Structure 1
Amino acid sequence: MTAAGPGTPQAAPDPSHYRILLIEDDPGDAVLVEELLHDSGLSFELTHRTTLTAARTELTADRADCVLLDLHLPDVSGIDALTAVRTLAPHTAVIVLTGLSEAQAGSDAMAAGAQDYLVKGKVEPDLLHRTVRYAVHRSQTERANVQAQTARQRAEENARLERGLLPQPLLDTSSIRVTSRYLPGAELALLGGDFLDVVEGDDGLLHAVVGDVSGHGPDAAALGVFLRIAWRALVLGGHRGEDLLHLMERILIAERGSLSLFATCTVLTLDQHAPTITFHLAGHHEPLLTTAEGTHEVTAAHGIALGIVPGLRSWPSTTVPLPPSGALTLYTDGLTEGHGGADRERLGVEGLLTLIENLPPAEPAAHVDRLIRETHRLNAGRHSDDLAVLRLDWGDLTSPS
């Protein structure tokens, strides 16, 4: 049975419209409740079911703002009935209907999670009006509190992951300026598996890493944190090049367990005194080098991603001269995987270089932010992959041409 109201109101009309589910097996009581609702002045839509089993669809589909529940149903009774309803619809207001001889039942029901209770035979239209309104309001407040608590917990988790994936650069005497940015791919997602870091060793050399763990979500993020922390500890411990990547791969294999995750990364050492930059690419793409003449990809030898063929240890090095002034940009696929232009083709490195060329001069942080905004604009706001950008600036160059 489904009925709509209001009828002839005897209470002040309420602007809200309530979807009310009545679970009552007694036909006479059901008719009485419907009449009281019509007389209450509430704007409502009433659905009547005679058993909990019959009401299951409405409960699980969140089709009710308020449930009027008889505690004595053919398929369940007492507090068990209330518990079942709360389990199926935890964020829906529940008002228990009790008999005249059940003095304690209403209090017990509220202790078990009901918003309120009404005694059959003692309900007037204005009482029903107030009870439904307040019960729904309390239920909505409880839901909002739960959502706020969940948001706080999510923010705390996000902050912990941020500290793991996006650490403060560890610099002592280096004059290199560091700019880093990170964006998770999925909307409202925790941080994904991209990671980056910069440290200055005791030898005065600057070391950097940008990496990308396959997949998204907490498993990829956790593995990214492990690899980032491992990289920093290993670099400070004096490990370099192929030896460094071999140890990172061992850690990845140990921490991924049964998951088929792998990671790509670029590790580099910048020596301002030599002056040179030495790269190792583990399944990752080349960095971008910006000088007064423009921006281009650094031609570098490629190695295999970590965890693809454990033990192969194929990570050749590439050393290039360090210009007197310039900028080096390391990034993950999120910066180039989007689509842009009239043909909607993948942006790719060539498209990224074109964007950089057309951006107006700006200081490093503003330039990185504008570049990210422009890639998102071309991709029509569809941001599907995690994105990490690390830019290192030295000398007098403050913006690409």
Structure 2
Amino acid sequence: MTTAMTAGHDAASEEPTYRILLIEDDKGDALLVEELLYDTGLRFELTTRTTLAEARAELAGAPIDCVLLDLHLPDVSGTDAVVAVRRLAPHTAVIVLTGLSEAQAGTDAMAAGAQDYLVKGKVEADLLHRTVRYAVYRSKTERASAEAQATRLRAEENARLERGLLPQPMLDTSTVRVTSRYLPGAAMALLGGDFLDVVEGDDGLLHAVVGDVSGHGPDAAALGVCLRIAWRSLVLGGHRGEDLLHLMERILIAERGGQQLFATCTLLTLDQHAGTATLHLAGHHEPLLTTAEGTRELAAAHGVALGIVPGLRSWPSTVVPLPAAGALTLYTDGLTEGHNGATSERLGVEGLLALIGRLPSADPATHVDLLIRETYELNAGRHSDDLAVLRLDWGDRPAHPSGRSDDEGTPRAQRTRS
């Protein structure tokens, strides 16, 4: 039987309304508890169940503030009952109801996780009032402490992952301004498998990568870190293009173990002197080019994602001419797969370009932050993919026939990193 009731007290009182679940198979004892609750002066809503099996639905539904638990139920008894309730509702206060002859039962129940215990036949209204309030307060305090600890640990894990997934760019003489952002797909979530990096090679060219490992969580993040470090090492070792992607695919296959993870990525080589960008798309989408005339998506040949068809080695290159001044934005699909406002449609590349066109002029870092904020607001929390954005800005650098630029040797522009 289920009964829901509120003690007859002033509704304007600051006293909270306690949602109490009584698990008691003896109808007489259940009635006594109900009457005692009325005498406590507490504001409460009471639901009664006679077995743990019946109580499961209540514990899995709306939050319960306090469980009053008989230790002798038809389907479970003793400390096993406490353990079972705590497993179903780990952050709910549990007060055990024991018999007069069970001197040790209450202590054992508290050792098993109950906040307190009461002896049937010796409970008065004032004692029940204090016990319920204290147990609920203690349970909420324990929950807040656990959440704070979890937040701290999650922040530490994210910081460690971020160092691997979002490294400091390695630039020597380049004047390119690098802006990078990385956000997990949901609040309190671990960073996923998105990764990015920028390195200036010994050849003076700027090399960049943005990638996305399938899946979420620590396995995808670990593989993303592995691929990002492998990419940086291989680039510094002189590997380029198809050869570089082939080696990255071999590493992915070796590191993913029995999991069928794959990765998409865009490789970019920026040659400011020649005014070109060389692209290799491995299952990833094209970068965006921003000039004085606006922003557009670059057209580039597509190749297969890493790990989908091992050994195929289908990663054609595309060479794109660049203006003397502009910006290239590489990103993962967390930026475009969210919803476009109140509609059920995804934002997509067209929606992203329209959004960029509406944004006010700003410095690169502010512009990227505005873009991410606007896409999140349009999505309204309905999509939870990770998001990585890498923007490369360059200015007017007329090249000499020798390949040297007019401002070679001057300090490089400020780089922004989240």
Please indicate, yes or no, whether the TM-score normalized by the shorter chain is above 0.5: yes
Report 1:1-400 matches (<5 A): 1=1, 2=3, 4-6=5-7, 15-61=15-61, 64-186=64-186, 188-338=188-338, 340=340, 347-379=347-379, 382-396=382-396
Q: Distance in 1 between matches of 2:102 and 2:287?
A: 76
Q: How much does 1:187 deviate? A: 5.2
SS, match of residue 212 in structure 2: strand
SS, match of residue 310 in structure 2: coil
1:328-350 deviation line (CA, Å, top 9, x unaligned)? 22222333445559997655444
Q: Distance in 2 between matches of 1:65 and 1:81?
A: 18
SS, match of residue 151 in structure 2: helix
Q: Distance in 2 between matches of 1:120 and 1:343?
A: 58
SS, match of residue 121 in structure 2: coil
Q: How much does 1:96 deviate? A: 2.0
Deviates more, 1:185-194 or 1:39-48: 185-194
Identify if the C-alpha distance between structure 1 residues 23 and 166 changes in structure 2 by more than 3 Å, giving closer, same or farther. same
Deviates more, 1:389-398 or 1:32-41: 389-398
Deviates more, 1:375-384 or 1:108-117: 375-384
Q: How much does 1:198 deviate? A: 0.3
SS, match of residue 21 in structure 2: strand
Q: TM-score, normalised by structure 1?
A: 0.86
The answer to whether the Cα contact below 8 Å between 1:7 and 1:39 also exists between their aligned partners in 2 is no
Q: How much does 1:379 deviate? A: 4.9
The answer to whether the Cα contact below 8 Å between 1:62 and 1:89 also exists between their aligned partners in 2 is no
Q: TM-score, normalised by structure 2?
A: 0.82
Q: How much does 1:251 deviate? A: 1.3
Q: Distance in 2 between matches of 1:78 and 1:380?
A: 47
Gaps in structure 2 of 5+ consecutive residues: 398-412, 414-418
Q: How much does 1:75 deviate? A: 4.0
Question: What letter is aligned with 1:307?
Answer: G
Q: Distance in 2 between matches of 1:88 and 1:16?
A: 24
Question: What letter is aligned with 1:84?
Answer: A
Question: What letter is aligned with 2:159?
Answer: A
Q: How much does 1:267 deviate? A: 1.0
Q: How much does 1:40 deviate? A: 1.6
1:32-56 deviation line (CA, Å, top 9, x unaligned)? 3232222221222333344444444
SS, match of residue 45 in structure 1: strand
Deviates more, 1:233-242 or 1:289-298: 289-298
Q: Distance in 1 between matches of 2:225 and 2:362?
A: 31
The answer to whether the Cα contact below 8 Å between 1:376 and 1:382 also exists between their aligned partners in 2 is no
Q: How much does 1:124 deviate? A: 1.7
Percent of paired sites with the same residue: 82
SS, match of residue 117 in structure 1: strand
Q: Distance in 1 between matches of 2:8 and 2:322?
A: 83
Question: What letter is aligned with 2:42?
Answer: L
- What is the alpha-carbon root mean square deviation over aligned residues? 3.1
Identify if the C-alpha distance between structure 1 residues 24 and 302 changes in structure 2 by more than 3 Å, giving closer, same or farther. closer
Identify if the C-alpha distance between structure 1 residues 169 and 106 changes in structure 2 by more than 3 Å, giving closer, same or farther. same
Gaps in structure 1 of 5+ consecutive residues: none
Q: How much does 1:118 deviate? A: 1.8
Q: How much does 1:224 deviate? A: 2.0
The answer to whether the Cα contact below 8 Å between 2:342 and 2:378 also exists between their aligned partners in 1 is no
Question: What letter is aligned with 1:159?
Answer: A
SS, match of residue 4 in structure 1: coil
Q: Distance in 1 between matches of 2:313 and 2:276?
A: 24
